[in-house]
């Protein structure tokens, strides 16, 4: 993951910091990772931040790809949270 981000990463970081993610999952304090789903201005991305503040993102070519990966992430995070709660 990159601590320093490029122009696309900077825009995505601004989107997340201003609360404009379409959806979020995870918790840096509980699972060590936070994810944000972004579909803004034709930009399809999943952003992530770890418990040390490192930020990274992945861009997707289609909403279908974005949603498929988002479903995988949210399922994995749900399973992690179940393990923490038990």
pLDDT of residue 3: 55
Give the HSE-up count for residue 43: Cα atoms under 13 Å, Cβ half-sphere. 21
pLDDT tens digits, residue range 60-71? 999 999 999 999
| CA-to-CA separations, 42 to 59, 60, 61, 62, in angstroms, rounded | 11, 10, 10, 10
Residue 27 or residue 38, greater confidence? 38
The predicted-structure confidence for 75-86, as pLDDT tens digits, reads as follows 998 887 776 655
Average pLDDT over residues 24-28: 91
d(CA 7, CA 13) in angstroms, rounded, equals 10
User: Following CA atoms 73, 49, 54, 85 in sequence, which dihedral angle do they give, to the nearest 10 degrees?
Assistant: -80
Map out the domains of the chain as residue ranges.
7-85
The reported pTM is 0.85
Give the pLDDT of residue 23: 96
Q: Which two tokens stand for residue 86?
A: 């038990």
């Amino acid at each position: 993951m990159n601590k320093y981000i490029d122009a696309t990463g900077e825009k995505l970081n601004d989107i997340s910091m201003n609360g404009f993610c379409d959806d979020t999952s995870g918790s840096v304090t509980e699972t060590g990772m936070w994810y944000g789903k972004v579909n803004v201005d034709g930009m399809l991305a999943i952003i992530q931040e770890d418990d040390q503040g490192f930020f990274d993102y992945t861009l997707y070519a289609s909403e279908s790809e974005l949603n498929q990966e988002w479903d995988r992430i949210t399922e994995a995070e749900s399973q992690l949270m179940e393990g923490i709660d038990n």
